Amino acid sequence: MTVVRRDVLSATDDLDAFVAGVLRLKDEHLGPTTADFGISGPSVPVSTYDLFVVWHHLAMMRMTPPGQLDRNAAHNGPVFLPWHRLMLLLMELQLQRVLGDDAVALPYWDWSAPDEGATSLLWSAMAIGGSGSPVITGPFRAGQFAVRVASDSTSRLRATDRPLRRALGLNPRAPTLPTSAHVLAALQEDEYDAPNWDSATSGFRNQLEGWNPGLQLHNRVHVWVGGDMGLATSPNDPVFYLNHAAVDRIWESWQTTHGRRYEPPDIAPPELAGHRLSDPLHSILTSGVTTPADMLDVAALYTYDSLP
């Protein structure tokens, strides 16, 4: 069935379901342990929720092509949007499964709305809790929710057992969230992506990802939230999914205006493997192959209550 993703600040039932589903996924263990993944530290079972953390990290560390340090299997390249669309879709399906409800939908956080900031209701104890190292309010507070796998300064994964960390608006590089003007500027970009297809190029993808112009939109939100959202293991903070649902919503809006098109095409050179229209998206949670082409039109699976 087609589910409808709604604004987290108005769809309180959807927020409640999201929180409940996340907590259940943190408590579910399908068998793999940190030792199975070569993660240093005591070997402990990896929760279903944390499988997504491992996956995101692994994809980020997969350079595409090998031999350069920018474009990877999920970021800094054209595949950024379809890869995260797939990741969110799979998370949404997991929430539906553990809650036994096919109508569950990921909410989105419209961080470009007026007055969004550290005093937003999103950060209240009744929603997802607030800032802190550790976070001490809300459903993901210390004692109720733990980070079990985290990246270190050399981008290696380590088993850990610590509370969630946030630092809302405390990074001087991102004291404020992106605005609707930034969103509209990105939506006016007609080109999906452009050579050299990395973090320096022009185009809608790179503008939405937040590299050009620099530290805006998606990237800016990660830095603004700070704490665990600033690391390669950023999905440790459930707000990751609310941010990326907002990003995906902006892409969906762009597609309705500019068409469901994608670049680079399949005829692009081999050094763009992993980013071409029919190349497999990196995945550890699916047995089949999903491509960017498969992610261009997902109306049969979900829609948004509104588009920017």
Partner 1 sequence: MTGFDWKAASQAEAIRRALRQHAADLQHAGDAHAHGADESVRTATHHGHHIEIRTGYRITVDGRPFAISAAVNNGGRVHYHGLPTRDYASTVDLVKDAIDTFPDDFGDSTPLAEPPHGDQTGAQHVRGDHTHGPHEH
Tell me the closest approach of the beta carbon of residue 208 to partner 1, in angstroms. Answer: 13
Q: How far is the CB of 62 from partner 1 (least distance, A)?
A: 7
Residue 248: Cβ-neighbour burial (10 angstroms; 0-12, 13-18, 19+): buried
Question: Minimal distance in Å, beta carbon 12 to partner 1?
Answer: 25
- 30 dihedral zone (left: phi>0; alpha: psi -120 to 50; beta): alpha
Choose between 144 and 170: whose C-beta lies nearer to partner 1.
170
Longest dimension (CA), the chain: 52
Q: Are the beta carbons of 267 and 277 closer than 8 angstroms?
A: no
Contact 267, 278 (CB under 8 A): no
| Length in residues, the chain | 308
Taking the alpha carbons of 154, 160, 162, 165 in that order, is the dihedral positive or negative?
Answer: positive
119 vs 214 by CB, closer to partner 1? 214
Nearest distance, CB of residue 251 and partner 1, angstroms: 17
H/E stretch holding 224: helix 217-225
d(CA 232, CA 223): 12
Nearer to partner 1, 257 or 261 (CB): 261
Q: What amino acid occupies position 96?
A: Q
Interatomic CA distance for residues 233 and 157, integer angstroms: 8
Shortest Cβ distance from residue 10 to partner 1 (Å)? 27
Closest distance between partner 1 and the C-beta of residue 248, in Å?
16
SS (H, E, C) 87-154: HHHHHHHHHHHHHCCCCCCCCECCCCCCCCCCCCHHHCCCCCCCCECCCCCCCCCCCCCCEEEEECCC
The residue among 232 and 242 lying less far from partner 1, judged by its C-beta, is: 232
Nearer to partner 1, 43 or 119 (CB): 43
Q: Which is nearer to partner 1, 7 or 198 (CB)?
A: 198
Rounded least distance, CB 122 to partner 1, Å: 19
CB-wise, 120 or 233, nearer to partner 1? 233
Other Cβ atoms within 10 Å of 287 Cβ, number: 5
Is the CB of 139 or the CB of 169 nearer to partner 1? 169
Least distance to partner 1, CB of residue 169, Å: 15
